[in-house]
Amino acid sequence: MRLVGRRLALAIPGLVGVVVVTFLLNRALPGDPAAFFAGPAATKQAIDEIRVKLGLDRSLPEQFLYYVRDLGRGNLGTSLTTGQSVVSDLVQRLPASLELTLAGLALAVGVALPVGVFAATRPGSWIDHVARVVTTTGVSLPVFFTGLLLVYVFYYLLGWAPAPLGRLDAFASAPRTITGFFTIDALLTGQPATAGAAVRQLVLPAVTLGIFAMAPIARMTRAAMLGVLSSDFIRTARAAGLASRTVLFTYAFRNAMLPVVTLLGMIFSFLLGANVLVEKVFAWPGIGSYALEALIASDYAPVQGFVLVMATIYVLLNLAIDVLYGVIDPRVRIEA
């Protein structure tokens, strides 16, 4: 608990800095939101009225004070593009992004960890060379190109995948919201057909993200395993006559997981905030596409809300990683 308290205390200045920087950067965006929402045929008087309504006629310090006051009340403002509160928009869209990101990350981990381990145990072999080629290809291809390629092959040519039109096809209705994850909610409410439809829509975008995330995870796993396998305590364990499986998974793999866990947290944060291209390709209603649309429209409130949510998730992920460090390596808890 002491470690958790210290990490939370260190995270507070970072969150304050995010609030200040986000506020200033949004005000530095090109374009006038009042003129945008007034329309090209609006008069100067109409534009001024909208500017007053949005509070843009006040000085920056006044706008910041009102912004901090609203944050303290849990009010992130209202989106001018959707007409709804930013909180409700984020609550509706965040589960879609989380479901997609977690599915892609799970796929990447399920493939990259074994590939990295086997490549490290057989350096210079054909497995090692295949792993290098695959990981290099995965990280070199832009995610939007991979997504379009998968759509072209599996939807257009082969007809195996459904149309890339969001989380469900036109013939399925959304399940009752429990967790916000369509696949889980459909199973919890006894709708296996809806769950199957949600999984089919999820496969291609998850594979797109998984291919991109697979490369750094496999590379880090291979490098960490090579470093651990060449250490003195591994040679001692082998000299003591321990089984190869015990040495590999009980001693080497566990010690090699610390840098991999750090990388997983970074990749998850990156995928959650930067999968806007995948969301656009597959018409996925996530927070990335929501923030992009707001940014194009110079809509301050959704962009600020998106950045604050991402910063909070990043802080919580770092906290979870620190706690997981203590589970993997008890020496971390002792040093804390």
Q: How far apart are CA 144 and CA 50, in angstroms?
A: 37
d(CA 333, CA 86): 39
R_g (Cα) of the chain, nearest Å: 24
For residues 185 and 175, is the Cβ–Cβ distance under 8 A? yes
Which of 116, 104, 114 minimizes the C-alpha distance to 219? 116
Question: What are the distances in angstroms from CA 111 to CA 108, 116, 256, 267, 321?
Answer: 5, 9, 17, 15, 21
Q: What is the pLDDT of residues 113-156, one digit of tens each?
A: 888 888 888 887 888 787 788 777 777 778 888 889 999 999 98
- Domain 86-291: CATH architecture, name and number where available: Orthogonal Bundle (1.10)
Query: What is the pLDDT, as a whole number, of residue 205?
Result: 93
Q: What is the mean pLDDT of each run of 10 residues along the chain (336 residues)?
A: 68 79 72 67 76 75 83 81 86 90 91 87 80 76 86 90 86 85 90 90 92 87 86 82 80 82 83 81 88 80 85 80 69 52
| pLDDT reported for residue 334 | 46
For residues 206 and 198, what is the distance between their CA atoms, to the nearest angstrom?
12
Q: Residue ranges of the domains in the chain?
A: 86-291
